[in-house]
Amino acid sequence: MRRSLGLLLAALALGPAGALAGGTEKEEVLFTRLRGRIEAIDASIDGVLGVFVKDLKTGRSLEVRPDETFPTASTIKVAVLYELYRQSAEGKVDLGEVTRPPLPRVRGGGVLQELGDRVSLTWRDLACLMLAFSDNEATNLLIRRLGMDSVNHRLDALAFTKTRLRRRMMDLEAARRGDENVSTPAELARLMVTLRDGQALDPALAKDLREVVALPRWDTLTSKPSFLSVIPEGVRVLEKSGELEGVRACVAVVELKTRPYVAAIMTTHLRRDADGDAVIREISSALWETFDRLDRASDLGRIISER
């Protein structure tokens, strides 16, 4: 009776989506403690936090406000990237076609804002700048080429009903009108898994898409706290982060060998922007410490390290 009650309490602590598939009671303990760490972080932040984490092996999820709508900041760029590759698959866009980015160019991040008027790049090159350097001008060029409505229609077709591209990057007038780019932690995580799986793409295109999303990030060269800053080199991570005043967001798939996981972390109404960066790092650290152990351990929890 006590054992059954303990399992029931653990399941309740994980929420309605926390049922374990193919795991063990020992994993229940680890995930209950992981949820406790995330809840403690939620209680400490002077702002609003949303989290959706899913174990891609078992299907178990941990959630904090998973269906609440948040500003996406630059994480919306993964939707633009997916539309680019879907239009490539449909023969509407040639990834290798060369274009010359016109002047003037929006600022606020990236590389193109610093380059001259003779630079020529392919659409794939622009996608790389958009993901690796969060280049706003590259993003806007891609949005104009693909069509904002096309991005949103694709999201509708995938049942991402709360994820919307409503404005180009650095369009402050649109933002003041309330035309903010938005998603929820649950949808943003599912969108990243869609990219990771290369849904509706042939194997070559799907592989290339994953390589673009996994490009090294410019912010890993700084000391700024980030989702990636706690993950060892050599671990493949598909990731996109974003920031606005009062907003920090990140979505990632961490490709561990046996326990890959997806995480979407979104914050808004931050009193201090740095707190959002710290929260994303703290949650990433908690996730890594749990999933890395599960990835390297036997069902009994024994870890045998190479010496």
Number of Cβ within 10 Å of residue 75's Cβ equals 29
What does the pLDDT read at residue 23?
58
Has residue 9 got a pLDDT over 60?
Answer: no
Residue 4 banded pLDDT, cuts 50, 70, 90: very low
User: Residue 71: is the preceding peptide bond cis (ω within 30°)?
Assistant: no
What does the pLDDT read at residue 266?
98
DSSP3 helix / strand / coil % (the chain, rounded to 5): 45, 15, 40
The residue among 195, 59, 212 whose CA lies nearest residue 132 is 212
CA distance 214 to 132: 8
Question: What average pLDDT does the segment 27-49 reach?
Answer: 97
Question: What average pLDDT does the segment 123-148 reach?
Answer: 96
> Is-contact 164 155, C-beta < 8 A?
yes
> How does pLDDT run across 53-73, given as a tens digit for each residue?
999 999 999 999 999 999 999
CA distance 27 to 144: 47
Q: Which stretches within the chain are classed as H helix?
A: 2-14, 25-44, 77-89, 123-132, 136-146, 148-157, 172-176, 185-197, 203-213, 273-296
Q: Worst-scoring range by mean pLDDT, 49-63, 106-120, 247-261?
A: 106-120
User: Residue 101: is the preceding peptide bond cis (ω within 30°)?
Assistant: no
Q: Worst-scoring range by mean pLDDT, 9-23, 163-177, 225-239?
A: 9-23
CA–CA–CA angle 160, 165, 167 (5° rounding): 165
What does the pLDDT read at residue 288?
98
> Is-contact 262 62, C-beta < 8 A?
no
The residue among 264, 278, 61 whose CA lies nearest residue 182 is 264
Q: Worst-scoring range by mean pLDDT, 10-19, 61-70, 149-158, 259-268?
A: 10-19
CA distance 112 to 105: 7
Question: What average pLDDT does the segment 160-170 reach?
Answer: 96
Please, is 205 exposed, middle or buried when counting C-beta atoms within 10 Å of its C-beta (0-12, 13-18, 19+)? Answer: middle
CA–CA–CA angle 241, 243, 249 (5° rounding): 50
CA distance 211 to 99: 22
CA distance 219 to 240: 11
For strand 182-183 and strand 247-254, is the pairing parallel, antiparallel, or unpaired?
unpaired
What does the pLDDT read at residue 116?
85
Q: Domain spans of the chain? A: 18-296
For tokens 């919307």, the residue is 164
What does the pLDDT read at residue 3?
43
Which of 8 and 104 is assigned the larger pLDDT? 104
Q: Is the pTM of this model over 0.85?
A: yes
Residue 253 banded pLDDT, cuts 50, 70, 90: very high
> How does pLDDT run across 196-210, given as a tens digit for each residue?
999 999 999 999 999
Residue 307 banded pLDDT, cuts 50, 70, 90: low
For tokens 């990219």, the residue is 195
Q: What is the DSSP string of 193-223?
A: HHHHHTTTS-HHHHHHHHHHHTSPPGGGGSS
CA distance 198 to 86: 9
Class of domain 18-296: alpha beta
**Both tokens of residue 85?**
């590759």
